[in-house]
Structure 1
Amino acid sequence: MISLIIPCFNEEESLPLFYPEATSVLRQMNCDYELIFVNDGSRDRTLEILKELSEKDPHVIYLSFSRNFGKEAAMYAGFCNAGGDYVAVMDADLQDPPSLLPEMLEKLESGEYDSVATRRVSRDGEPPIRSFFARKFYRLINKISDADIVDGARDFRLMKRSMVDAIVSMSEYNRFSKGIFGWIGFRTCWLPYKNIERVAGETKWNFWKLFKYAVSGIINFSQVPLTIASWFGTTMTGFSFLVLVAIIVRKLIFDDPVPGWASTICVIIFIGGLQLFCLGIMGQYIAKTYMEVKQRPHYIIAESNKKDFTPIR
């Protein structure tokens, strides 16, 4: 059986287009399947549409959150409630083409791979600035972390049950799925395809949200920012010591007081700025630790048509 996990946030325009295309492909694959739609606190008619689909199609399962918990929580809820031998994550906007599923399943059934993941080889239709920073992010995180994240990687991938179980076992609150997929390992085949624009609706990811997501990914999978902060502190301490020695020598030899309060203030402000910058980096790690220690649930499911769903995790 194949389980498709589809996170949904205000996707009333996309669902009527996604559902028939996805079911058409799955029926042609001659296997049992389930469509797990996770309603992530949508404010439009997304939940109503999902209920209508579930009434006419027993393969449709919906999990509706009590509020918006974010795509990462929606994906995790899908993993926790998926019962298939193979599990895939897809977006409802058809940027992840269902037509790739037969080829992905064929590669998995060959026994050579545990996961078949997709990556975009082009970013047509995407703002140039976003594309530039996205490429830089992938290059940076691969250099400073143990997570293997391919440039252009999508969340759209088909995985064997063993890999899904490994993902579920990583119950951390601050989730970055692209990093988790790479960190747990397993044999992955990358399937390239050209970028496809949304069929309907508007993207929920603006530049600021993507930036915060990137920062979260770096903090979750790398300690390099803390190392940089430590080196900043060490470097500035050594520099300050050398300047202090120079001032003392100048005073003893030339009896010349150091003129210029303005330059002194500039140095103080500069060093103070570095200190605040380093404290900010440490604060990000402390905040992540704080959220983990509280052990709040990743999601809360308010209603579902699945009888044995996991309501809180």
Structure 2
Amino acid sequence: MEQISIIVPCYNEQEALPYFSKEIIRIADQLPAYEFQIVFVNDGSKDKTLELLKSYEKSDPRIHYISFSRNFGKEAAMYAGFRYATGDYVAVMDADMQDPPALLPDMLQIIKSGEYDSVATRRENRDGEPPIRSFFARKFYKIINKISDADVVDGARDFRLMNRKMVDAICSMGEYNRFSKGIFGWVGFRTYWLPYKNVERVAGETKWSFWKLFKYAMDGIINFSQVPLSIASWFGVIMTGISAIMFILLVAKKLFIGDPVDGWTSLICVIILIGGIQLFCLGIMGQYIAKTYMESKKRPHYIVAETDLEPHW
């Protein structure tokens, strides 16, 4: 009997878990031809998430849990789930019901056809989302697809079903600075994009503020593109060219017209402009150096405090 592993990262999801657990069990019961392994990853929650997961694990042998020693982030939680999942097919989804478990049978049917290695979901709309967040999200997808080799579709969710071959490829990428949307695209494989209408969170509050999403987007760009470094280099080339042209013009003005160089205001403005560009470029390089620094430490992606599973990878 083939096995389907479901990875569910959780951080302070005590309000949403009762709804999600009931729904995912209902879907699993509708697919008796498959064995299910439902892996909840508790990402250092401070509420009663872990207590709920332990009670679910005792009541249903298909449910398992991994609990971190602290909050390591969703990327670490997904990576842990991939490493512990043993299924022939592996799905990852959120516990807030914005990734509808009811889509799983359709996703399974598509991937079983053999034409695709992955069935990924994308939102058709962004109803219920703040307009400014939607605007910047669309711009982010356009930018990252233009400047990197990561194939990230607009509206893409982390919710997807993959075969074992693709999951093994993802597990083999042990980089510390992870951006799963980019990794899913970078490893390649044949992917079918399944559109669905946006669903609002069933309970609780989102853990993603605008600032966190912005930092996550910047991490994605830095992790999958060297274009920001090229921009810094081109800034240097352009400013050097402008400086050379201005030098020639000022010398010519002095020699042929005899006008002195006017004012300190323009000089200070130029100094501030050049200084700002230098700091901007140093900041870009600093981000790449910081990423390299974190990779060189080779710290673990997460620390498991307790679990009822053995790692597969």
1:85 aligns with 2:102: no
Distance 1:248 1:132 in 2: 48
For residue 217 of structure 1, what is the aligned residue in structure 2?
220
Match of 1:132 among 135, 146, 161: 135
For residue 184 of structure 1, what is the aligned residue in structure 2?
187
For residue 263 of structure 2, what is the aligned residue in structure 1?
260
Moved segments of 4+, more than 4 Å = none
Match of 2:74 among 52, 71, 78: 71
Counterpart code for 2:16:
S
Partner SS for 2:106 = helix
Distance 2:61 2:270 in 1: 69
For residue 16 of structure 1, what is the aligned residue in structure 2?
18
TM-score (norm 1): 0.97
Counterpart code for 2:12:
N
Distance 1:224 1:269 in 2: 25
Give the superposition deviation at 1:19.
Answer: 0.5
Question: 8 Å contact 2:125–2:198 — kept in the other structure?
Answer: yes
For residue 274 of structure 1, what is the aligned residue in structure 2?
277
Aligned-residue CA RMSD (Å): 1.0
Alignment of 1:45-64 (within 5 A): 45-64=48-67
Give the superposition deviation at 1:242.
Answer: 1.0
Give the superposition deviation at 1:249.
Answer: 1.9
Question: 8 Å contact 2:85–2:311 — kept in the other structure?
Answer: no
TM-score (norm 2): 0.97
Give the superposition deviation at 1:124.
Answer: 0.7
Give the superposition deviation at 1:27.
Answer: 1.5
Alignment of 1:119-268 (within 5 A): 119-268=122-271
Distance 1:254 1:135 in 2: 53
Give the superposition deviation at 1:245.
Answer: 1.4
For residue 7 of structure 2, what is the aligned residue in structure 1?
5
Give the superposition deviation at 1:309.
Answer: 3.3
Distance 2:23 2:176 in 1: 33
Identity of aligned residues (%): 70
Give deviations 1:240-286, integer Å, cap 9, x for gaps.
01111122222222333212011101101101101111111111111
Counterpart code for 1:22:
I
Distance 1:137 1:302 in 2: 35
**Stretch of structure 1 that moved more, 56-65 or 253-262:** 253-262
**How many residues in Structure 1 have an aligned counterpart in Structure 2?**
310
Where does structure 2 lack aligned partners over 5 or more consecutive residues?
A: none
1:104 aligns with 2:107: yes
Distance 2:195 2:245 in 1: 54
Counterpart code for 2:285:
M
Give deviations 1:158-178, integer Å, cap 9, x for gaps.
000000000000111000000
Partner SS for 2:77 = helix
